[in-house]
Amino acid sequence: MDLTHILLLVAAGVAAGAVNAIAGGGSLITFPALIATGLPSIDANVTNSVSVFPGYVSSVAGSRADLAGQGSRVRRALVAAALGSVAGCALLLLTPARAFEVVVPFLVLGAAATLAFQERLRGLVGHPRAMSPRRAAITLQLVVFVGAIYGGYFGAALGVMYVAALALILDEPLKRINALKNVLSATVGLVTVLVFALFADVNWAAVLTLAPATVVGGYAGARLARRMPAHILRYVIVTFGTAIGLVLFYRAFLG
């Protein structure tokens, strides 16, 4: 890599770390940046997954105050996140990408719409307080598992999907849901690092450039998210999620 590539990756890493902490979708910044340095798409994808993991960890650190009282919920969700991530990584390494590329834009746009119309949808599916503890626990595990499959496969806008789904099933303020999302994203990231380091072609020079930058951006973004009023945080996540979905749609069908 030359100096231009290094500067590009540093800038992309800081921006992606902040975006992941606030809304999710930072991979749509770092992935194209890695492609621009000359990496093939699959190599860029696995390198990106490894690179953004430290940013997820710093996001957890930045939002740890909002995890208070969620310890048992987090512990229950970690197993589902880990298992789903392994399944997603296997899909990436063993199957053609085209079918999933077709589905992904609709998943992302659906997630953004779910968050935007959260209150109306709650009227249809029921408020979280109306769920039995058993139903709420099973639904949480299912949401975490399915999201982790996607995260292990590609991961762009994983945070948007998690926030949208969790906001429907958890009776919590959005900033606490965002903090839980950061933990789940970090768990998915850890699994992808382990799997791809063993079984995929990771460009470690690019990782060493991107990863520290995502740490800086992730911590700063998490701190900013904690200070945002709920309606502004919701607006940012919905707007960014919609933009990501449209970009992915263009790539899948028009690019």
Angle at which helix 71-94 crosses helix 133-153, to 10 degrees, equals 40
pTM of structure: 0.83
pLDDT digits (tens), the chain, 255 positions: 789 999 999 999 999 888 888 877 788 789 889 989 999 878 888 999 899 899 889 999 999 999 999 999 999 999 999 999 999 999 988 888 788 778 888 888 888 888 788 777 766 666 677 778 888 889 999 999 999 998 998 877 788 889 888 988 898 998 999 999 999 999 999 999 999 999 999 999 999 999 999 999 989 888 888 888 878 878 887 888 888 889 889 888 987
CA 26, 30, 32, 37: dihedral to nearest 10 degrees? 180
Task: Quote the number of domains for the chain.
Answer: 1
Distance CA 204, CA 215 (A): 16
Which structural domain range is residue 162 located in? Answer: 3-254
